Structure 1
Amino acid sequence: MSRLLVLFISICWSFSVVAGQAAVAMPDSYSAKAAAKVLEEGGNAVDASITAGFVLAVTLPEAGNLGGGGFMLFYQNNKTDFLDYREKAPQKAHRDMYLDDKGEVQTEKPLYGILASGVPGSVMGLWQAHQKYGSLPWERLVQPAIELAENGFIPHKKLQAYVQEYLDEIEAAPHGRNFAKYFAALTGGQRFKQPELAATLTRIAKQGPKDFYEGETADKLVSFMQHHGGLISKEDLKQYQAQWRTPLQKSWRSYEVVSAPPPSSGGLVLLQMLAMLSDKIDCLEDVAHNSTRYVHLLAELAKPAFADRAEYMGDPDFYPVPVQKLLDDAYLAERAKLINPIKISETEAIKPGLQESENTTHYSVVDKWGNAVATTTTLNLSFGSGMVVEGAGFLLNDEMDDFSAKPGVPNYFGAVGKDANAIAPGKRMLSSMTPTLLIKNGQVQMVTGSPGGTTIISSVYQSILNRVLFNMDAQSLVDAPRVHHQLLPKNTIRHHPKLDKTVQDGLVKMGYTLDARRFGDLQVIVRDADGALAAASESSGRGLSMVVETK
C-alpha cells in the first residue's frame, strides 16, 4: 500500500460517534453478555469491565482470575489513565530462591505449585477502578459472577478440552497441584458449579477487597500457604495496593497511541517498533501484507526493541526504567539503522542501545459516551500454578516465572532479563501485557489487546498495522495470520499455521527457522468511517463481541 493511499484513508476516516452505541469484545460469551447488560443498564465502560473481570474468574479459569493480576488502560472523560494491579513478590521472596546448590535455575519451581505465586492484585485492582471511575453499585457488578459460580455454567467444548489436557499434564507431573479436585468434573460437559468460589465472590461483593486482603478469604489463602509451605503471608496481603500510573503515549501517523507503562514492557516495545517503522517507511513501498519481505521487516523491527526489553525494563518502583530515553525520536532513529530490509541482521550485533502469560486474557469495552477500557489480566500460564485455594475455590497465579530467576536465563516464554527484573520482596514482575488505545481528534478509534506472553506485543502491533496501514475491518484484522520474533531464539519466527506456504518457503530461504503455532486471542473494537463501532473476537477462540444499542 502506498503512502498516498494510507494518507487518503486517514483523511477520510470520520470521527463522529453514533449515538447510543457501545461495544464489547470479550474472550467468552458469558463475560460478553454480562458486560453488555451493564452497558444497557446505563453503566459505563469501567462498570462493564469490572463485571467482565469477575465473570471471567468463573468461566475462563485458565486466565480469568481472583488470584492473579493485570492492567487496565482507561479513556475516561477525555483523559487517559492506567491502573497497575500486577502481582508482587512476597516479602519472603529473594533473588536466588529458584537456584539449586550449583546456582542453576530449577525451572519447575516458578511455574508449578505453591512457590510459584505472587501476591494477587485482581480484586484490589477492580475495586480501585470502581472507586475512581465506576458508576453502578459494586454489588451489582459482582452479582453476575456469583450467579454463574453458584448456579453453574455450561463449559464450552474448547474449555473442556483445555482442562482435560491440563489434567493429563498433571497426571504425568503433579508438582503438588490440586487442580483435579476442583476442575475434573468440568470435562463432562454438564453444568459446572463452584460453590466455594461463589461464597468467596459473595463476601467480596459485600465487603469489597477487605475480605480478600484482611478477612475470611485472606485467612483461607494464608492457611493454604502455610499448610503447603508457601510464602504469601497476612502482611503481604494487607500491604497490597494497586498503583495508578501515567500511561505511555506517542504520536504515530496522526494518531495518539496510548499503551501500558512499566512494569509492562509491552507499551515500550510497541511504541519503539511503531516509531522505527516510520523511519523505515520506504521499505514498505509496494510491500504486500504478510509477504516474505513484510514478515522479514517485522522480525527486524522486533530485534532492537527486545534487546532493550531484556536490559532496561522492570518494576519502575525498584529500577529507574529510562522510559523517555527509550522513546526519544533521535534514539529510535539510530536504532532503526540496525534494521536490514533485505537480509537477516546478525543477532549478536543487536545490543541494548543506551549508554547505561501464555495464557493471559484481554477484553475491550467502549461505552455510549465514548469512554473506553482495555483490560489485560492473567494467571501467567494456563490455570496459573495449578493450585486452588481450598475453601475459597480460586486458582493462584504462577507469575514468579516472569521475574529473571538468573541473568540471561530465559523464562518459559524464552524472554531473558537482567538486574532490572531480578526477584526482590514487594517487587512487581515484568510483563508483556499491552492494552492499547488509538485516539484521534479526541475520539477513541481502536481498542486492542491480546493474551500470549511475549507474543502479546506482536499481536497488538500487527492489529494496529492491519487497521491503519491496510484498512482491514475488525474481523479481518483479528483473524489475519500473525508472526512473532523476539531476538532470541536466534533467527526464529513463530507464525500462525495459515501463513501462506510460499511466504514460509521464502523465509526459510532467507535463513529463518519457522515455528508454526497459534498464539494470541485478539479482542478489538474499532470506529468505522461513518462513526459506528465494530467489534471482533478472534475466530479461533471462544470469544464473543457485540455492538450494544443503549438508551
Structure 2
Amino acid sequence: MADHDGAYVHRPAETFPTGPVISADDPKSPFPPSESMLHRYNRHAVVADSKQCSKVGSDILSNGGNVIDAAIATMFCSGIVSVDSMGIGGGFIMNIYKDNKFYTLNSKELAPLSATKNMFKTPSDYDIGGMSIAVPGEVKGYWELYKKFGSLPWKSLIEPAKNICEEGITIKDHMYNSLESHHYDDQHLRNTFFNISGGQRFTGERVKLAPELCKTLRIIASNGGDDFYNGHLAELIEADLRDIGSIITKKDLQSYKVRWEETLSMPIGSNTVHLTPSAGGPLVGFILNILRGYNLTTKSIQSEGDLIRTHHRIIESYKYGFFVMIVYVVILKQILKLILTHFRLIDILRYRTQLEDSDAPSPLIRKMLSPVFGHEIRAKINDFKTYTDPKHYGGNFIIIDEGTSHISILAPNGDAISVTASINSL
C-alpha cells in the first residue's frame, strides 16, 4: 500500500503474520520456485553463464590445470557461447587469489590513439558502427595471464572453444533480445542470426558462427596471444575494422598494455575482503560497508520477521549502490563528466559514475570504504519503508546494460578468480 509520498510501508518485523502479506501491488499468484539449486562440491567449482563453459573449466582443473588455466579456457568458451556478452573483441577485469597472494588484472578496452572528444556527431555514433569500437584487451589479458601463471599447453585452453565455434551454438534469450534491426546490416551477424527471408532466428535455434571467428581462434592457438596485437592477425583485424569505418590501426593494437593493479583490501569483522580497485570493486566494497554496521549473523534470518528485515536492508543497500546502474557503453569520459555536471546526483550514484576505470581517485574510494560514510548511508535506510522514486537513492538517468559476463572459479588448492568481461554492446 502506497502512502502519500510514494513510499511503500510495511509493519514492524515483529508483527508480521506467518503467511505472506498481500497488497494491491503484490502478484496475484506466488512466483514459481527458483531454478537455482544449492550444490556441494568436493574438489572445485566453476561458475559461468552456461553449463557448457562451466564444464570446460571444470575439465581443465580435473586434468591438472590451475585456476588461471581454467579461467582462460572458460573465458574463451564463454566468448563463443555467450558471444552477445563477451569475447575476443572486448575486455575484462579479474580479481585473482593465487599462491596466497592477491592480484588485479585490468584488461579493459581503450580508446584508439586518434580518438577525439568531438568524434561522435550523434548519440548513436558511440553505440553503433565502426567508430564505436574500442581497442580490445581480452586476448592480451589471456596471454599475460598465461605467461605469468599458466601451466597447461596454450593450445589445450583454446581447443574447447574452437570446437564449439565450429559445431555451432544455441541462441539464448539474452542473445535473441540483444539483436536489433541494424545488426542485419553486418554480413556476419546477418548470416548467423537472420534467416533467408530477413527474419530474426529464435531462441533455441542452433546457428553457426562466422568461420572467420573460428579461424581466428585457431591462429591464436597456434601463434599465441601476441599475434592478435603484433602479428599477421593484427594486420587482418586492422583491415577488417577499416572496412567498417573504424579508426583503430595496428599501432593501437601494438601499443595496448594490460594494467596490473593493487587489490583493495577491506576488513569485514574478522575477515578481509579483497576487491578490484577499478570498475565495480569499490562499489561492492561500499555496499558491504553499509551492511557491516548491521552485524549480520545467522540470527539475522532466524524468524520470518528477521529474514524479511535482513533482506530489506540488503536490498536498500543495493539500491543506494546500484538503483540506477551506470554501465560503460563505449562512452567517453567527457560525455560521462557532462552528465555529472548536468545532474545533481547524490550519494553513491555520484561516486559510481566518477569511478572512471583507469584512474579512480583514491580519496573518493577511501571515502566510500570508510566506516563513517557507511554509517551515514545506513542511517538513511528505514526498516519499514522503501521508495519508488529513484531520486531518493540518487538516481536521475539509466543506461541499459547490453551485455556482461561473469565467471568465478575456486580451484582444489584454494586458489580463486572472479572476473567480469564485456563487449559492452553487440
TM normalised by structure 2 equals 0.72
1:371-520 correspondence runs (5 A): 371-381=415-425, 384=426
Q: Which residue of 2 aligns with 1:297?
A: 316
Matched, 1:249 2:265: yes
Match of 2:369 among 314, 327, 337: 327
1:35 aligned counterpart, secondary structure: helix
Match of 1:279 among 268, 285, 293: 293
The one-letter code matched in structure 1 to 2:290 is M
Which deviations, in whole Å up to 9, do the C-alpha atoms of 1:472-492 show, x marking residues without a partner? xxxxxxxxxxxxxxxxxxxxx
2:424 aligned counterpart, secondary structure: coil
Answer yes or no: is the 8 Å Cα contact 1:288–1:294 preserved in 2. Answer: no
Answer yes or no: is the 8 Å Cα contact 1:70–1:377 preserved in 2. Answer: yes
Q: CA deviation at 1:321?
A: 6.3
Q: CA deviation at 1:125?
A: 0.5
Structure 2 CA distance for partners of 1:190 and 1:248, relative to 1, 3 Å: same
Distance 1:327 1:87 in 2: 27
Q: Which residue of 2 aligns with 1:209?
A: 225
Match of 1:120 among 121, 128, 136: 136
Which deviations, in whole Å up to 9, do the C-alpha atoms of 1:204-261 show, x marking residues without a partner? 1122222111222211221122222212111110001111111222122333222221
Answer yes or no: is the 8 Å Cα contact 1:71–1:82 preserved in 2. Answer: yes
Which contiguous aligned blocks of 4+ residues in structure 1 show a shift greater than 6 angstroms? 345-352
Distance 2:66 2:272 in 1: 23
Structure 2 CA distance for partners of 1:142 and 1:63, relative to 1, 3 Å: same
2:194 aligned counterpart, secondary structure: helix
The one-letter code matched in structure 2 to 1:222 is E
Structure 2 CA distance for partners of 1:308 and 1:317, relative to 1, 3 Å: closer
Distance 1:343 1:161 in 2: 34
Instruction: Quote the sequence identity (%).
Output: 26
Q: Which residue of 2 aligns with 1:268?
A: 282
Q: Which residue of 2 aligns with 1:72?
A: 94
Q: Which residue of 1 aligns with 2:410?
A: 366
1:21 aligned counterpart, secondary structure: coil
Q: CA deviation at 1:127?
A: 0.8
Structure 2 CA distance for partners of 1:231 and 1:131, relative to 1, 3 Å: same
Matched, 1:93 2:107: no
1:288 aligned counterpart, secondary structure: helix
Structure 2 CA distance for partners of 1:289 and 1:220, relative to 1, 3 Å: farther
2:126 aligned counterpart, secondary structure: coil
The one-letter code matched in structure 1 to 2:103 is D
Matched, 1:308 2:324: no
1:308 aligned counterpart, secondary structure: helix
Q: CA deviation at 1:163?
A: 4.7
Q: Which residue of 2 aligns with 1:472?
A: none
1:231-250 correspondence runs (5 A): 231-250=247-266
The one-letter code matched in structure 2 to 1:279 is G
Answer yes or no: is the 8 Å Cα contact 2:405–2:420 preserved in 1. Answer: yes
Distance 1:146 1:351 in 2: 45
The one-letter code matched in structure 2 to 1:181 is N
Which is higher, the Rg of structure 1 or of structure 2?
2
Q: CA deviation at 1:62?
A: 0.9
Structure 2 CA distance for partners of 1:367 and 1:223, relative to 1, 3 Å: same
2:124 aligned counterpart, secondary structure: coil
2:273 aligned counterpart, secondary structure: strand
Structure 2 CA distance for partners of 1:358 and 1:258, relative to 1, 3 Å: farther
Match of 2:156 among 134, 140, 144: 140
1:199 aligned counterpart, secondary structure: helix
Structure 2 CA distance for partners of 1:289 and 1:337, relative to 1, 3 Å: closer
Distance 1:160 1:297 in 2: 31
Matched, 1:49 2:71: yes
Distance 1:294 1:330 in 2: 18
Structure 2 CA distance for partners of 1:174 and 1:49, relative to 1, 3 Å: closer
Q: CA deviation at 1:301?
A: 4.1
Distance 2:224 2:59 in 1: 22
Distance 1:205 1:261 in 2: 31
Structure 2 CA distance for partners of 1:239 and 1:324, relative to 1, 3 Å: same
Distance 1:242 1:91 in 2: 16
Which segments of 5 or more consecutive residues in structure 1 lack a partner in the other structure? 3-17, 101-105, 385-551
Distance 2:393 2:317 in 1: 15
- Residue-pair matches, total: 346
Distance 2:209 2:183 in 1: 24
Structure 2 CA distance for partners of 1:22 and 1:277, relative to 1, 3 Å: closer
1:11-50 correspondence runs (5 A): 21-50=43-72
Structure 2 CA distance for partners of 1:174 and 1:363, relative to 1, 3 Å: closer
The one-letter code matched in structure 2 to 1:224 is D
Structure holding more helix per residue: 2
Distance 1:309 1:119 in 2: 23
Structure 2 CA distance for partners of 1:205 and 1:257, relative to 1, 3 Å: same
Matched, 1:180 2:180: no
Q: CA deviation at 1:174?
A: 5.3
Q: CA deviation at 1:298?
A: 3.2
Which segments of 5 or more consecutive residues in structure 2 lack a partner in the other structure? 1-12, 15-39, 196-200, 322-345, 396-400
Structure 2 CA distance for partners of 1:193 and 1:175, relative to 1, 3 Å: closer
Distance 1:65 1:358 in 2: 14
Which deviations, in whole Å up to 9, do the C-alpha atoms of 1:403-447 show, x marking residues without a partner? xxxxxxxxxxxxxxxxxxxxxxxxxxxxxxxxxxxxxxxxxxxxx
1:30 aligned counterpart, secondary structure: helix
Which deviations, in whole Å up to 9, do the C-alpha atoms of 1:40-79 show, x marking residues without a partner? 1100111011011111222221113000001111111111
The one-letter code matched in structure 2 to 1:365 is I
CA RMSD between the two structures: 3.3
